[in-house]
Chains A and B, each alone.
Chain A
């Protein structure tokens, strides 16, 4: 942004376009403001979400501390998120490595297959897994939620890791093999350090997606609710509204921070290599 004041920035095509710039700023404002109302009203000293605001309070946040079920739900979400992020990142690494390194027939079909959950409505996945679990006699639990999240997270993990694996020269791995290291050691001494930023990004993104995921959880949760399920339950009670706002504000904050780090780490390294 700062450089745009210089008159000779870029070429004829890339010269400054004031209306477009204004549009871009408005776009960002519209993108963020709706979400920012949640933290704003979470400090409002009133049961009702409306203007004018009644004054600042932290009581809704304080109240969150005292809710046992909330902390249980939070712990459930963290456990599922951690497991899902680790598994999907490992599976994503394995898949990305196979896709980028081996000449195999049907490679693009495999990528399409892994990316399918991106273009199928979540509800269909949810009910399909629900039906499968019930027919197989698997009781709904955090494990079934985790499986659902795994399917949702896989495309994102693969999409985050693929550019990493594509971005580094295959002769690096060949050099390692040539210098006497087998596949396992080559992975730990060359591949893993080089794709590490992608791994961090994938872990953080997968965790965030799982932590925030609602649609799959809605169909696949057993007796232990995840945090979004808990929030969904609370939405029915108007008097719980302010606490939900406070809780949501906290979740948003954590998500923003995690995703920002993930994106920053994930993209930064890629740009350096170029």
Chain B
């Protein structure tokens, strides 16, 4: 066990429930003041990991350091972290103010001081004069804010948030995302945020850990995850992705190409490709990085012809599914509707179209 500069350091942590590995040998660091998200499908272990940070689950192996202190034997009530629960866990028998000041008991403050602090927090979460409301009379968004205030009033070193926006409707959720992000910048403490919503994670986070099956697949910034995914699972989980099976063909030291199913042979800079000749790879191409045109674009680095299968009009953009020669699965193409009358939206199935893309749009991955 070594000490590191990281604010939270998770070192070789595992958690078994019986023989089930909920967390499988995870190591990663979270920096001071970071907005860090744990992203993954349900059952991937993200909530378990968060609960281990809070102290509600013990580690089967490994150690978690918070601010260079080992935490394995520290019970939840002695940890310098606070949590916003998925269902907010607002105490139903207490009013709003008593909920917010719940954790202040041990600080032995005068009643007026406590009330003043509660009022300050209510001010911050934009719910002034709610102090004497009953907890049972609150809406979902209000509960969420109060859960936040209740945790932040204790000035934790780390705030843990377990899918805190999951129960809210779409509009409120987007508004709360902005507020949450602004709040985190303002107070500057570390947030560890659990979500299964990739868009939410991309919107909010400084860095994201993508988890699956109890393992961390990749830790990166939002752009890093989206533009340079390290594995096809990550590429698939964040955004949409077209995958093409391919084989590496090396022509000496200077140039390399990938023979793909459907896209033909693609030239790649050698620096990007550390695979031997004949290696199987996957070529990944995002739908919005493919241009769709009626004729072959002159300047395109890569272009293939295809036939339109189906299309879906989504307002701001349209999705097209096109069939390529030598490939069963249709390719998804996403085009913004920059003009009001986009001819492609009216094109019938079977129309010949051209797909084009630039070299840097391509990501080469190991096959699954």
Pairwise interchain contact B56-A174, C-beta atoms closer than 8 A: yes
Docked Cα-Cα span, A193 to B76, in Å, equals 21
**Residues of A contacting B170 in the complex (Cβ-Cβ under 8 angstroms):** none
**Is A194 touching B92 in the complex (CB atoms < 8 A)?**
yes
Chain A residue contacts of B77, Cβ below 8 A: 177-182, 186
Partner of A175 from B55, B75, B79, B85 at Cβ < 8 Å: B85
Tell me which residues from 55 to 73 in chain B have a Cβ below 8 Å from any Cβ of chain A. Answer: 55-56
Q: Is the CB of B91 within 8 A of A175?
A: yes
**Bound state CA distance, A87 and B218, in angstroms?**
55
Interface residues on B, range: 20 to 34
Indicate if B54 sits at the interface (CB-CB under 8 A). yes
Q: How many A-B residue pairs have CB under 8 A?
A: 63
In this assembly, does B106 line the interface, its C-beta being within 8 Å of a C-beta of chain A? yes
The chain B residue sitting closest to A193, CB to CB, is B93
Contact present for A179 and B85 (CB under 8 Å): no
Is B105 a contact partner of A169 (Cβ separation < 8 A)? no
Beyond A177-B77, A178-B76, A178-B77, whether A172 also contacts B83 by CB under 8 A is: no
Question: In the complex, which residues of chain B have a beta carbon less than 8 angstroms from the beta carbon of A116?
Answer: none
A180 touches B83 (CB 8 A): no
B-facing residues in A182-207 (Cβ within 8 Å): 182, 185-186, 189-190, 193-194
Cβ-based interface call for B333 (8 A): no
Contact B87–A171 (Cβ < 8 Å)? yes
**Most interface-central of B76, B85, B150, B154 (chain A CB within 10 A):** B76
CA distance A190 to B86 in the complex (A): 18
- Nearest CB of B to A178, in Å: 5
**Given A178-B54, A179-B150, A194-B92, also A171-B86 (CB < 8 A):** yes
Q: Is B182 an interface residue (CB 8 A)?
A: no
Contact B89 A169 (CB under 8 A): yes
Question: Is B323 an interface residue when CB atoms closer than 8 A count as contact?
Answer: no
CB distance from B149 to the nearest CB of A (A): 12
Q: Which listed residue (B85, B86, B93, B154) contacts A180, Cβ 8 A?
A: B154
13 pairs, CB–CB < 8 Å, chain A vs chain B: A174-B54, A174-B56, A174-B83, A176-B102, A177-B55, A177-B56, A177-B75, A177-B76, A178-B83, A179-B77, A179-B102, A180-B78, A194-B92
Given contact pairs A171-B86, A174-B56, A174-B76, enumerate 6 new A-B contacts (beta carbons under 8 Å): A171-B89, A174-B85, A176-B102, A177-B56, A178-B79, A180-B105
